[in-house]
Amino acid sequence: MSYVVGPTTNLPFPDQQHADLTDLDSKATMTHLEEATGDLASEPVAVDTLLPRYSLIKSLFVYRTASLWALAVLAGALFDGYALVAPGTVMVNYEFIDKFGGPVVGGVKQLYAYQVAAWGGILNAGQILGMLLGSLTSDRFGRVFNIRLIGFLMVVSIILNLTMQNWLYYLFSRFLTGWATGLVQSGLTVYVSEISPPHIRSTMLFVYSIWYSVGAFVGIIAGQIITSTGAPYQHAFYSELVFLGLFVPALIFAPETPWFHGFRRNEAATKKSLVRLFGNVEGFDVDHEYLVIMAEVHKQDGMKAQSAARGYLALFKGVDRRRTWISFFPLIASQFIGLPLIGSGLPYYLSLLGTANPLIPSIASWVTTIGTMFVSAAIVNRVGRRPLLLGGILVSLIACLAIGGIGTKIRMSGGTLPAAGMGAIVGISVVWYTAFGLSTAPLSWAYLADTATPALRARTASIAAGLSAMPGLVFNYTTPILLSAQEANWGLELGYFYAGLSAIAVVVVFFTIPETQGRTFRELDELFERKTHTRKFKETTVDDVSNAVPASAA
């Protein structure tokens, strides 16, 4: 089988493990796609990469330049995890509470619930800004521009954290931190997706989730050490400088992605980027890989020309509406299954009860998350994304019901934590985080990076991540208010509410989120264009540019 890329030259599709590059000897007769005329210029063409497929370990070695740059950029995920967990650790620090706290309830000085709610809400507002504006700067100035903007925002937020005099300083710092993490979440996955070979792209995207969890775990450990030793709360923010240091190589030296240059029709820059990333690979053919990119660019141009939609409206029309939804919902599922409650709300609630070590459940849970993410990365190619996502949400639903049951027990005990209560909370948190680490934590970002139409990838990533942060804004603002006896006083019975949302998430995932594991961008384009049924994505084989047939019939 072959695909025409010029009037006289056919190129093979490399289904085998090691591509045969001998058919490329006639490169001199090739016509570049942007120079094509007639039917070729009016019809999308498909060209598959000839980058050889190897095992994961060998691929990381063979494609070591691209892999190292992806890992360097993903250091930003460490900051993302740390920055989003840090508020929960600082808010249980005795010095911080004494400096910014308010009422004494049951002999325990507490932060005002509205302050905690505002800090959580403004963080999500900043995330939304970063996610929505991130695509504009990414498409106009490049993926690397966003990486450097992240570094700038990190520096300013750290300075504010170390010099704050009242709670409003921290409020503005939280906004800048949210802006930076929004850029991290919408931008880094796009960058990694565009520089990674297709067959290891999912693994590299898993690294984002693992790094995020490592950053969060370090934040929890740092908070526990600082609180238990009575060290100044500012030490938690000094630690952010370490993550900034790890990010410096990417800030200064990271190459722009070839896809960005390709969409801007800059042939020289596209090829230069390809050579910088893959030039060390034996047999690498820059002209062919340039055609791979330009074939997709040509195809996307044709799709745009056929559609009346322009700009961001294109994300919500036709085939792209479905792709935007699939990019968006796995992220929002993290909020539905109880992350605002079990992630940041639980330490805050335990501090309200006067518990000596309110961060213990979080420490045990994040250790579990990191371990299960490695398990998820190892089994996702065999099991698939969709089954892991569904199973994880179901287990989270049960865990939220159990947390709600503990809340009922606490209320029946007059607002005191029963003797076995802390052990039960730790156990349930570990179960919840196990499900989280196997499913929504890594898979939501994989869906975000993989599902979008290539021409709209940056915009889809920004819009999807921004839309998912909007429920996060609501939940992170309201959860402290609902938990606190100063306000709604739901306590841990809030778990019942998140169990209900988890049930909704299970139904939505089952009927709308397909299996995308292991697909190339061309294959995904074909499956979506043919409106393949959600539950048939995995069994459908794309064997040429005009046919998509069930595997059983192939």
Domain count, the chain: 1
Dihedral angle computed from the Cα positions of residues 341, 213, 215 and 109, in that order, rounded to the nearest 10 degrees: 20
Please state, for a pLDDT cut of 90, what percent of the chain lies above it.
17
CB-based contact 75:240 (threshold 8 Å): no
Give strand pairing partners of 541: 549
Indicate the average pLDDT of the chain. 79
Residue 21 lies in a domain: no
Range of the domain at 363: 56-254+313-518
Per-residue model confidence as pLDDT tens digits over 346-376: 777 777 776 767 777 777 777 887 788 788 8
For residue 42, what are its two tokens? 């009016």
Q: Distances from the Cα of 426 to the Cαs of 84, 212, 343, 410, 501, in angstroms? A: 21, 21, 12, 15, 22
Comparing CA positions, the residue from 494, 509, 468 lying closest to residue 400 is: 494
Biggest CA–CA distance in the chain, Å, is 84
Residue 319 lies in a domain: yes
Residue 438 lies in a domain: yes
pTM score, whole prediction: 0.68
| Confidence (pLDDT) at 498 | 95
Give the whole-angstrom CA distance, residue 497 versus residue 111: 24
Identify the residue whose tokens are 């890594």.
442
Per-residue model confidence as pLDDT tens digits over 455-496: 777 677 777 767 777 888 888 888 888 888 778 889 889 999
Residue 240 lies in a domain: yes
Phi, psi angles (nearest 5°) of residue 104: -105, 120
Per-residue model confidence as pLDDT tens digits over 292-349: 888 888 877 766 555 444 567 777 888 888 888 998 899 889 889 998 888 777 777 7
Residue 408 lies in a domain: yes
pLDDT at 104 over 50: yes
pLDDT at 377 over 80: no
Residue 43 lies in a domain: no
Task: Give the gyration radius of the chain's Cα atoms.
Answer: 24
HSE-up of 402 (CA within 13 Å, CB side)? 18
Residue 425 lies in a domain: yes
Q: What DSSP line would sit under 177-223, residue for residue?
A: HHHHHHHIIIIIHHHHHHHS-HHHHHHHHHHHHHHHHHHHHHHHHHH
Phi, psi angles (nearest 5°) of residue 265: 60, 30
Residue 266 lies in a domain: no
At residue 339's C-alpha, the angle toward residues 83 and 344, to 5°, is 50
CATH number of domain containing 223: 1.20.1250.20
| Confidence (pLDDT) at 494 | 92
pLDDT at 506 over 90: yes
How many other C-beta atoms are found inside a 10 Å radius of the C-beta of residue 511? Answer: 9
